[in-house]
């Protein structure tokens, strides 16, 4: 099956480097201010090629979630979860939920990104910080 590995495209290195340092930096258009996530060479909003990498707070809300009961990766034994989080800055990131999961639906719960070491690398993971 193999282990999970970051997908390293041409424009991704600054993001993964920031995660390794315990923060999340995302690409932001210097022309219109829109975030580019996933990172890319051109802004989808204004077509500018200029950008900068800025730290995001890591706060957001759960948009969707799933608990996997089948083994897909050797380093994630089931059951494990995945959550889609809309960051306060706007982008939607996929991550795992750490800590005690809420009862019932997780949608709408407030989360904060944390940085955890997993199988020799650092990754972000969300922790619920409110009751929903």
Q: Convert the pLDDT of each residue in 46-76 to its tens digit.
A: 999 999 999 999 999 999 999 999 998 888 8
Confidence of residue 132 (pLDDT cuts 50, 70, 90): low
Segments forming the whole domain that contains residue 13: 8-55
Regarding whether 79 and 126 lie in a shared domain, the answer is yes
* Alpha-carbon distances of 105 from 90, 112, 113, 124, rounded to whole Å: 22, 17, 19, 22
Higher pLDDT, 2 or 76: 76
Regarding whether 14 and 65 lie in a shared domain, the answer is no
Total count of domains within the chain = 2
CATH no. for residue 85?
Answer: 2.40.50.840
The pLDDT of residue 16 is 92
Regarding whether 44 and 75 lie in a shared domain, the answer is no
Regarding whether 118 and 92 lie in a shared domain, the answer is yes
Q: Is residue 2 part of a domain?
A: no
The pLDDT of residue 97 is 94
Task: Read off the pLDDT of each residue in 100-117 and give the average, rounded to a whole number.
Answer: 92
The pLDDT of residue 131 is 62
Regarding whether 121 and 66 lie in a shared domain, the answer is yes
Regarding whether 123 and 76 lie in a shared domain, the answer is yes
Q: Are strands 121-128 and 92-98 parallel, antiparallel or unpaired?
A: parallel
Q: At a CB cut-off of 8 Å and minimum separation 6, what does 103 contact? A: none
Regarding whether 34 and 78 lie in a shared domain, the answer is no
Regarding whether 129 and 68 lie in a shared domain, the answer is yes
Confidence of residue 40 (pLDDT cuts 50, 70, 90): very high
Q: Is residue 3 part of a domain?
A: no
Regarding whether 38 and 76 lie in a shared domain, the answer is no
Regarding whether 106 and 82 lie in a shared domain, the answer is yes
Task: Read off the pLDDT of each residue in 115-121 and give the average, rounded to a whole number.
Answer: 90
Average confidence score pLDDT of the chain: 92
Regarding whether 48 and 25 lie in a shared domain, the answer is yes
DSSP per position, 54-72: EE---EEEEEEEEEE-S--
Separation between Cα atoms, residue 66 and residue 1, nearest integer Å: 20
Considering just the CA atoms, what is the radius of gyration of the chain in Å?
Answer: 16
DSSP per position, 2-66: --------TTTHHHHHHHHTTS-EEEEETTT--EESS--SS-TTT----EEEEE---EEEEEEEE
Confidence of residue 122 (pLDDT cuts 50, 70, 90): very high
Entry pTM: 0.90
């Amino acid at each position: 099956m193999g282990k999970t590995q970051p997908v390293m495209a041409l424009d991704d290195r600054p993001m993964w480097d920031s995660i390794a340092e315990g923060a999340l930096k995302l690409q932001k258009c210097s022309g219109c201010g829109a975030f580019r996530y996933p990172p890319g060479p051109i802004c989808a909003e204004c077509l500018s090629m200029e950008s900068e990498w800025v730290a995001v707070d890591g706060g957001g809300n759960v948009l969707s979630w799933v608990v996997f009961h089948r083994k897909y990766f050797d380093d994630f034994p089931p059951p494990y979860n995945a959550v889609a989080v809309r960051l306060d800055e706007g982008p939607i990131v996929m991550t795992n939920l750490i800590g005690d999961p809420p009862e019932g639906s997780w949608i709408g719960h407030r989360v904060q990104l944390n940085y955890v070491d997993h199988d020799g690398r650092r990754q972000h993971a969300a922790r619920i910080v409110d009751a929903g």
